[in-house]
Amino acid sequence: MANETTVVKPAAAEVKKMPVKETAVIEEAPTEGKWSLLSRRDFLTRAAWAGFAINFLAATLASLRYMFPRVLFEPSPVFKAGFPHEYAVGEVNERFKQSQRVWVVRESGGFYALLAICTHLGCTPNWFPSEDKFKCPCHGSGFRRTGINFEGPAPRPLERIKITLAEDRQIMIDKSVTFRHERGEWNKPGAYLPMKAIAYTNPTDLTSKA
């Protein structure tokens, strides 16, 4: 018997299903035009909000200033300088130079008050009794005891200020009213306090009205 050759057919290979990879969907990157459009919109939006915030803040501050106005408390330009008998004849009194920038001068015929401000650049002059003059330490302007300028760069005399007698018979100074010599104002009422205006005042009156 012939040898029978048995042909063994290979088993059909199992076909394995290969996993199907999911293809990632890549979003299309915005083009330059899209980015430009987004940036412009974002900028305009932020600018609009910034403008609104600024306007709102300004309106709020304005309302607060209206509700709570800022008040500046300035000292009164009017002050009392004591009684006439407290001043010696021929004296240039400096007691109010630092606090008020004022000199009170007494003559035999009356009183006048000078503003202690140099007419050149506004410095405060000094009084030199031995030389009978005011001298500015800044640029050397000189003024006589009357206030007339005679040396240095000062273009005009010192200003006189209003001097009167108060109801209690004290000397009253008002710095808000000035008199300029070059305008002929030293002859106006208030530029000089004559003794005849206070001659009737005596120690009894001062005591009773103090």
Name the residue ranges covered by the structural domains of the chain: 38-73, 78-209
Residue 175 has pLDDT above 80, yes or no: yes
Residue 15 has pLDDT above 90, yes or no: no
- This prediction's pTM: 0.62
Q: What is the pLDDT of residues 59-98, one digit of tens each?
A: 887 777 777 666 666 789 999 999 999 999 999 999 999 9
174-178-181-186 Cα dihedral, nearest 10 degrees: -40
Q: Give the list of residues 6+ apart from residue 191 with CB closer than 8 angstroms, or none.
A: 112, 160, 162, 163, 179, 185
Q: What is the pLDDT of residues 99-156, one digit of tens each?
A: 999 999 999 999 999 999 999 999 999 999 999 999 999 999 999 999 999 999 999 9
Q: 78-209: which CATH topology?
A: Rieske Iron-sulfur Protein (2.102.10)
Instruction: Please report, rounded to a whole number, the percentage of residues in the chain having pLDDT higher than 70.
Output: 74
pLDDT on residue 197: 87
Residues 159, 163, 169, CA angle at the centre, nearest 5°? 165
pLDDT on residue 207: 40
User: 3-class SS at 190?
Assistant: coil
